[in-house]
Structure 1
Amino acid sequence: MFKTIRNAWAIPDLRKKILFTLLIVLVFRIGSVIPVPFLDMGALNTLMKGVDDSGSMLSYLNTLSGGAFSNATLFAMGVTPYINSSIILQLLCVAIPPLERMAKDGEVGRKKIGKITRYVTVILGLIQGAAYFWYLYRSNVTVYKSGFDLVYSAIIIILVFTAGTALMMWMGEQINNYGIGNGISILLFAGIIARFPYTISRLAGFWSTGLEGSTEMLVFVPLWVVIFLAVIWVITFMQDSERKIPIQYAKRVVGRKMYGGQSSHLPIKVALGGVLPIIFASSILSIPSTIQMFWQPKSGFWVSFFNAFSTEGWLYMVLYFIFILAFAYFYTAIQYNPIEMANNLKQNNGTIPGIRPGQPTVEFIQKILSRITLIGAMFLALIALVPLIYTAATGMTGLSMGGTSVIIIVGVALETSKQLESQMMMRHYKGFLD
């Protein structure tokens, strides 16, 4: 990967794209330290002191925003509203026929879907910003407590949060147009990488604890590093893994020429849904702990209920595993239609060797998809649960490097590297006239 970046840097056009991408990332990091007005920063720091250890939606948002959420800065909402908007539109394109036709209407349809996604992002940003303000107000973090001053400050704070989300969405689109890689993914990558110094400081703290007497930490810290590197290797291996279904095209004669007859394959990635099943599952399971932080019950049934959904509890891990499998199959079902795939093969005179066209081909593709999805879902569940199990067993909380974060880091790095390689290949291609 580093060799690819070095070779790309030697090409002036690509160097400009890389510098533009780095400039956008720099603007993102500057915006991540600009606090919104009308907040008591001392009270905010006290409130957010244990957010990374909570395992709630707040810790999830804080990780994706690179720590901007816990500091209530311009980019506190991160790109989460945009991600949620994209997921909602993706699901609605399957459920609502007009949106499905729009999605299949080529470049014009994709532009319309993109415009709707932006509008939904702003709406979700307003809702999420209002919820965050309410949480800050209930926690006595706001400077003004009542009257017109409170209403005015609430409007300003919510609009600043929403504007930060819209600005990040715009910056991501600028990277798509003038930079390298997927813009939103690059911003997510930058936010998660920004949490590395915090993770290292936590590891150093645990190591110091081991030197002071808790000798088990002298084993747990190096073991965490080994597991972290092993997880990166597994993700890298699985990201490029695919099942190739062989395809044979029939020969046909048109005039005096013969067409077809070649062999090909239909690639199906093992990690079909990418990180989305983990995002869906973690978002749903973080709802109880988030409600607990807003409600803050002191005793009784609800305290036991919320404790059952703690990230260190067995119930959370079991439900997490089940939800990841369920969402992996759900995402595969909405992305791949075996009937449509079989019909496309039939229309192009293609067949799977040993499988008859029609319903047998549909059943064969369904069986392959089911098996591949199971393998991919088990892989995602393993990546997601290993950090939770290790944290529960060792007590090393607040490392902010969960399975979702690692998959995003590795996936974005591989995707960007491939884009650089394809750009270099395109610029070195001499063509037919040379």
Structure 2
Amino acid sequence: MKITRITDKKVSLRRTIDTGTEEQRKIVQSIISTVRSDGDKALFSYTETFDKVSLSSLKVTEEEFTAAYEELDNELVEIIREAAANIRSFHEKQKRESWFSYNDEGTMLGQKITALDAVGVYVPGGTAAYPSSVLMNVIPAQVAGVKRIVITSPPNQQGTLPAGVLVAAKELGIAEIYKVGGAQAIAALAYGTETIAAVDKIMGPGNIFVALAKREVFGIVDIDMIAGPSEIVVLSDETARANEIAADLLSQAEHDKNSSSILVTTSMNQAEEVKLEVEKQVATLPRKEIAKASVDTYGHIYVTDDLETAIAVVNELAPEHLEVLTENPLAILNDLKHAGAIFLGRYSSEPVGDYFAGPNHVLPTNGTARFSSPLNVDDFMKKSSIISYSEKAFTNNYEKIAKLARLEGLEAHARALEERRK
């Protein structure tokens, strides 16, 4: 990891993220077009081509759910249940209700809040299994009141899905889970096939082809975000422990070769200790090749002269995950403006939030924490404005409204008001 000293509070540190090549976009467009025209046939064909498995059915069977419970340790099943309860409890506090207000003229105004009808959740496969993605995407949708929730995920070469993913889905009562991944899964969720009915919104992370497919279908359906590689920033002073900082940085580096792990510290001694600790710890990880490639390319340590400059650097980075390992984290919380999730203190290691505490781990990446928020219940609801004008309110205001309409050159708008006064 490279160490850089920063003295300028206005330094620019935004990272350029791979948004795909023109060739990749064309591949995705072709896949989407083929799924739209050929439906299930295309899904079976692409699954055989990309996932190297020939399926007889796309939908997960009860037998597969049963086998998943038999495979998974009972203690892990209980841990999944406890994590789900924590996540549900947190998100239930976010739910908003419709509201209505009345004035003396008899006018009623309001906002009607309605859950989306159907949501699709993409759960990535490949190098790891992600039951936490099931919990974090499905539970806020359920709290919002979404009636139909569909999961798609690429099958392994045995033609099934990881036991943890299946158990998490079953614990949440998901009836529809399909063994299909990649851009073809996104196309199926957006446009529908003979087996998979279309949804209204698509959630969940994936590789570059999944991200590009979500970008292509946006507008036909809503999407959560175009997620980039995982990121962590640790903000520390001399009171933090180098071995713990290194472990936390590597917890993100092992996700992906493009993941970003950054330390911002006020101590040069600590920076040098953390660098050595990262080199020592990465060599012992099962996913050391991935983690090492990540820290070699995107790992960095920034050293500042004071905490104020360090905070400015963090706000410029606007990270997905921000750990605050300073002497008094709460004292600087109000100064930390941009982060998807903020972890305060030594015992709030980032994996606590990833899996168990309750807040959502689907967070803005690529510096988009400057203007966006973690996945939440509102993402699964839409709002309708309610207007009920009384005759008295209309009489008192129609001339004003007509004048505004004519100011914009919209005569029919004005006459629509005046016809009611003839």
**TM-score for both structures, normalised by structure 2:** 0.25
Greater fraction of residues in strand:
2
If asked which structure has higher relative contact order (CA below 8 Å, sep 6+), I would say 2
Greater fraction of residues in helix:
1
